Amino acid sequence: MLYPRMTSSRMVFELNGIWDFKLLKKKEERDAGRRLKDSMPMPVPSSYNDIYPGRDFADHVGDMVYQRTFTVTNPVKQGRLFLRFGAVTHTAEVWLNGELLGSHKGGFLPFSFEISKQSRVGENLLTVFVNNIVDYTTLPCGRVVEEEFPGLEQRTVNLPNFDFYNYSGIMRPVWIYTTPDVYIEDIEVYGKMDGSVYWKIQAEGESADKAKVTVRVLDAEGRCVYTGTGYSGSGRVEAPRLWDTQDPYLYRLWVRLQSKSGNVDEYTEIFGFREVSIRDCRILLNEKPVYLKGFGKHEEGGSRGRGTDMALMTKDLGLLKWIGANSFRTSHYPNSEEMMQLCDRMGILVIDESPAVGLNTGFTATGLLGGNPKGTWETLRTKEHHKHVMEEMVKRDKNHPCVIAWSAANEPASQEDGAKEYFAPLVALTKEKDIQKRPVTIVTYEGSTPKTCKVAELCDFLVLNRYRGWYDTEGNLKGAAVKLKEELEGFHVRCPEKPIMLGEYGADTIAGLHDLNARLFSEEYQTEFMRAYGEVFDSLPYIAGEHVWVFADFATAENIKRVDGNKKGIFTRDRRPKQAAYFLKSRWEEIRNPY
């Protein structure tokens, strides 16, 4: 799926800005063909939740509606016109001028509709119904509960089976863009270390298969270093400058599609020459071992929630560089396309995670489906949707050099019967869809031990979330280190060839709380926690990386385990460093080998 870009044959218009917005009651009448009455202004892109005060507003369960008009001019009506959403959380039903364009399920990936027929020169009315419910069919998973108290109106509560606030709305940019009648629908491009480059073009429109395709590889200065023809093919660039974390050098594949009738479409896709592989317990970038240093990271902040925020994302990557990190996991959903582009450019390695979180009976206060501990894999209805999401994610992110691996899920019930059967086809599908055959993992939690884990063999590398010294053995870091080491050794015995990394480890820490005895919640405890884990990693040669939980403090659902959100951040929510940031900085700056 191509990102909307202005080219010599395409125009792009952003529909971001202030839209009309309204929360909808359960049976409230709706008419997509009329201007909303009693609407309130709402910024797009943004999560709607934190914009206005009131917990009924923030925690609304169900439908809401976004609306705006846009004007189409005559030149824009030449060729085709598309409407594209970066992400709408969690489902969207889109109407234009009173006609239904279609719907999309899944809150973190883009979708588009052709609107050539439904749009008209002049003013157009765009209406989007959004639903924010998470249940046993959605990713992430949750459950809906009807609360009844004598004398009170029935109230619908949506319990997330995950530890982050269920931000929703039109959270990523919206565009309209034009293409010629015969157009480039998708481009796949892969540059390898030896300079070989593979491409595959998908085109749509009348006799698209008979169109003539020319491709050029352009270097960062715009010089053409290779020319080829054909819908798919391969060629070679002499001595390419490889992409890596120190020198994230980017090339572009310029594609020209000329149809029989003479219509021309052009698009330029960014890529890099680099290879990711796995050998002898190591993750290799361009054949050199890369030890992953970084975080699990949410895409969120104050006011706009998970809404695309270019300033925040650039600042975050600047902080990653400052602290000596080289990577992060997009926990627990694909991040915005703009973030992926920035990672390409800044040389940050990404484990690209699907929104499959909460596929367990859980550690959260809420549980799932009434907390039936045996029910997970039989009761969940996510399997087909999960396949679809993995496909969409690979389709969107396949060309990014920054993406070094895919994570199919975070902390599923991987120790329960049915886990292997659930994940095997998902892993296979992900591999099949990715020509780079990047490593795939399933991130597991404490419940899944070297003895009980049912999915280790499906993973190319093991990513473990462990909280010894926090959720158990709390306060006792020596004991925690013993337990951690024992478990890592157990996994190494089970999968002796596979790299093992920590995907999460951390301790809730109140910024500014100091304690001479390094007690729980103090800045000192977080630092000592990091030190204790670091010593274990350093003693085990097969550890391939350390991702701390979590980059910055973040909002969660209201519950008794969380005081104003999750405080395991190494940075506060407004991105100030806690003490442990300085410890990690000195630790990570020492570990270079060689990235």
Residue ranges that bind ligand E9O, judged by CB under 6 A: 163, 332, 363, 411, 445-447, 465, 467, 471, 504, 549, 566, 568
- Least separation in angstroms between CB 483 and ligand E9O: 11
- Is residue 65 classed as helix, strand or coil in its secondary structure? strand
- In the complex, the smallest distance separating the C-beta of residue 460 from ligand E9O, rounded to whole angstroms, is 21
Which residue is at the shortest CB distance from ligand E9O? 163
The catalytic position among 504, 523, 524, 546 is 504
Find the shortest distance in angstroms from Cβ 49 to ligand E9O.
Answer: 18
Which H or E run includes 177? Answer: strand 174-179
User: Please, which residue, 558 or 589, has the CB nearer to ligand E9O?
Assistant: 558
Nearer to ligand E9O, 272 or 506 (CB): 506
Q: Using CA atoms, how far apart are residues 151 and 158, in angstroms rounded to an integer?
A: 21
Nearer to ligand E9O, 76 or 513 (CB): 513
Q: Read off the tokens for 335.
A: 């991040």
Nearer to ligand E9O, 84 or 568 (CB): 568
C-alpha span between 501 and 269 (Å, rounded)? 32
Q: How far apart are CA 244 and CA 347, in angstroms?
A: 6
Give 549 or 588: the residue with its C-beta nearer to ligand E9O: 549
Sequence-separated (6 or more) residues with CB below 8 Å from residue 334: 108, 109, 352, 353, 354, 355, 393, 396, 397
Residues in Cβ contact with 152 at an 8 Å cutoff, skipping those fewer than 6 apart:
none
Asked if 199 and 215 touch (Cβ cutoff 8 Å), the reply is yes
Amino acid 463 reads: V
Q: How far is the CB of 568 from ligand E9O (least distance, A)?
A: 5
Is 589 marked active-site? no
3-state secondary structure of 234: strand
Q: H helices of 434-539, where?
A: 477-494, 523-538
C-alpha–C-alpha distance, residues 209 and 203, integer Å = 7
Tokens 């699990």: give the residue.
Answer: 296
Q: Would you say 298 or 304 has its CB closer to ligand E9O?
A: 298
- Joined together, the tokens standing for residue 157 give 């509560």
- Name the residue nearer to ligand E9O (CB basis): 135 or 446: 446
Where are any strands of DSSP class E within 336-453? 349-353, 403-410, 440-443
- 432 given a catalytic annotation: no
* Residue 57 contacts residue 42 (beta carbons within 8 Å): no
Strands 543-549 and 292-296: parallel
Instruction: List the catalytic residue out of 93, 337, 411, 416.
Output: 411
Shortest distance (Å) from residue 574 CB to ligand E9O: 19
Q: Least distance in Å: CB of 325 to ligand E9O?
A: 18
In 3D space, the residue among 129, 174, 95, 122 whose CA is nearest the CA of residue 22 turns out to be 129
* Alpha-carbon span 46 to 310, nearest angstrom: 12
Closest distance of CB 457 from ligand E9O, Å: 22
Active site residues: 411, 504
